[in-house]
Structure 1
Amino acid sequence: MVTKEVSQPVISGGPMEELADDIEDLALKMKDSQPDLALRVKATSERLFLCNRLIRDMDHWFLDEQRENARLMKDYISKFRTTDAKLGKFLTSTNFETQCCNGRRAWGGKET
């Protein structure tokens, strides 16, 4: 006789979990006539549940990684814009743009 491990439901919800539930139903139907096979079928259902959980966890991990990468890119762009703005203010305040334009050196005004 098979113990109540075969009778206990493991999972519910989702397409893979529904398949695992169907496999568990088969285990329940055969537990009296073929107890060893019923335990193997139940173990298959549990492995399917674990595979489904692994896939779901990997999906969450991947999405978290994508969110983190997007956040880092946003931070880098923000820092670049801040640095670019500070550099622009510095160059404007030191009159760097007018001193170096047209290929002339700032200290002598001679063509390079």
Structure 2
Amino acid sequence: MKAYFYFRAPVDEDEAKAISKQIAEVIVSSGFKIVEGDICISPDNNNPEYILESFNICMAGIIATESDALVVPSLSTIHPKEEFAKAMLGMLVDAGLLVFVIKNNELVAYKSSIDKELMYEEFTR
């Protein structure tokens, strides 16, 4: 798995590397292999990942993406209000993205409208 880490706000390079290492460790401990890591401080409009920025996915910190898949460290990373976070995550799933959410140090995948319904139940408990 090739992981790219995006930070919405400017961060110190050492801090960025430390946070990237932490999230990478969670991904690896969940059984996924990260082939290469990279840090992008501010994606621009020409970046294919710009949609993620527009959805405030990077708000509090980090995501990892591989082609049309993304790893979200927590629901609150997408948006601080749970109902908005669920709606945004649902839109990304509807757009065909394979979405992983890190929950209790495990990756939970959501990849279809059926999964989206399960996702809503899971996050409202």
TM-score normalised over the length of structure 2? 0.22
Of Structure 1 and Structure 2, which has the larger fraction of its residues in strand?
2
Of Structure 1 and Structure 2, which has the larger fraction of its residues in helix?
1
Query: Relative contact order, CA 8 A, sep 6+: which one is greater?
Result: 2
The structure having more radius of gyration, on CA atoms, is 1
